């Protein structure tokens, strides 16, 4: 951690570069900024990567350790609760991610009402999609590849059926996001072209179904990976001495 203290200015520059002028288009309201797509942007990215390599490695291994730990917890819990088997969850979450991107591309969150909670559906439809339509803007959101889905943070409910349990996952995607003015056919936010990005998606377990609850930018992934999981005593006991599901 001495590196971070001695290089606070470089870290501040990176934070500013990645968070200046937040834009809105893809799921969660985030546009791919495309800061490092130009020639000089790539040069800058290379320099920053070298300078910040220790910090990058710290993030990588912190998240890797959290993911490995959480997969083991879910594997043990799945012996008494089959629906928490990670292979099943990965498939379910991946399906929801793809469906949400399709709904955003169609500018109609009603298409995924069965996969998102009511708050998220209303917020995204009214605050973003309906507003853009009223401004004669077209939302372009395309998912080309969903590369990784990994559990960063677990927050278990103490209820017997685990209703109310939340999981934060990191997704790595290749996407294209931008806002287009229908009248002038000009891009007003974002940029054409696919980019490799990462986000943190939150899912909540409600009555036997996983529902999308929120989406955060990828810069928050380290913070969630460092959080201590919330594991009530009754769940901890099942993980320590799991009983085979019938």
More confident residue, 72 or 35: 72
The arithmetic mean of pLDDT across residues 39-65, rounded, is 76
Per-residue confidence at 246, pLDDT binned at 50, 70, 90? very low
pLDDT for residue 59: 82
Contact predicate 58/209, CB 8 Å: no
Question: Is pLDDT above 70 for 39?
Answer: no
Percent of the chain at pLDDT > 90 equals: 61
Q: How much of the chain is in helix, strand and coil states, percent to nearest 5?
A: 45, 25, 25
Cα–Cα dist 110/122, whole Å: 9
Per-residue confidence at 38, pLDDT binned at 50, 70, 90? low
In the chain the domains, ranked by start, together with CATH numbers, are 2-240 (3.10.450.240)
Question: Is pLDDT above 80 for 26?
Answer: no
Question: Is pLDDT above 70 for 66?
Answer: yes
pLDDT for residue 3: 40
The arithmetic mean of pLDDT across residues 35-45, rounded, is 62
Pairing type for strands 195-206 and 166-181 reads antiparallel
3-state secondary structure of 174: strand
Lowest mean pLDDT among 20-29, 183-192, 211-220: 20-29
Per-residue confidence at 167, pLDDT binned at 50, 70, 90? very high
pLDDT for residue 28: 66
> How does the average pLDDT of the chain come out, rounded?
84
Per-residue confidence at 30, pLDDT binned at 50, 70, 90? low
**What region, left, alpha or beta, does residue 107 occupy, with left being phi > 0 and alpha being psi -120 to 50 degrees?**
left
Cα–Cα dist 204/155, whole Å: 9
């Amino acid at each position: 951690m001495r590196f971070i203290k001695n290089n606070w200015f470089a870290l501040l520059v990176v934070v500013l570069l990645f968070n200046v002028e937040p834009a809105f288009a893809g799921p969660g309201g985030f546009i791919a900024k495309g800061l490092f797509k130009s020639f000089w942007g790539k040069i800058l990215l290379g320099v920053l990567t070298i300078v910040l390599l220790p910090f990058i490695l710290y993030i990588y291994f912190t998240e890797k350790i959290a993911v490995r730990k959480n997969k083991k917890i879910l594997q043990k819990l799945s012996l008494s609760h089959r629906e928490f088997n990670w292979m099943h969850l990965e498939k379910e979450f991946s399906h929801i991610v793809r469906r949400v991107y399709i709904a955003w591309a169609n500018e109609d969150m009603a298409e995924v009402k069965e996969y998102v909670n009511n708050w998220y559906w209303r917020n995204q439809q009214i605050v973003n999609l309906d507003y853009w339509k009223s401004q004669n803007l077209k939302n372009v959101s395309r998912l080309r590849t969903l590369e990784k889905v990994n559990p960063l943070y677990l927050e278990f409910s103490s209820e017997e059926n685990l209703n109310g349990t939340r999981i934060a996952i990191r997704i790595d995607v290749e996407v294209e996001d931008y806002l287009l003015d229908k009248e002038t056919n000009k891009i007003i936010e974002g940029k054409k072209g696919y980019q490799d990005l990462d986000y943190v998606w939150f899912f909540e377990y409600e009555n036997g179904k996983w529902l999308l609850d929120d989406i955060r930018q990828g810069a928050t992934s380290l913070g969630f990976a460092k959080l201590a999981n919330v594991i009530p005593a009754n769940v901890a006991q099942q993980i320590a001495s799991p009983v085979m599901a019938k």
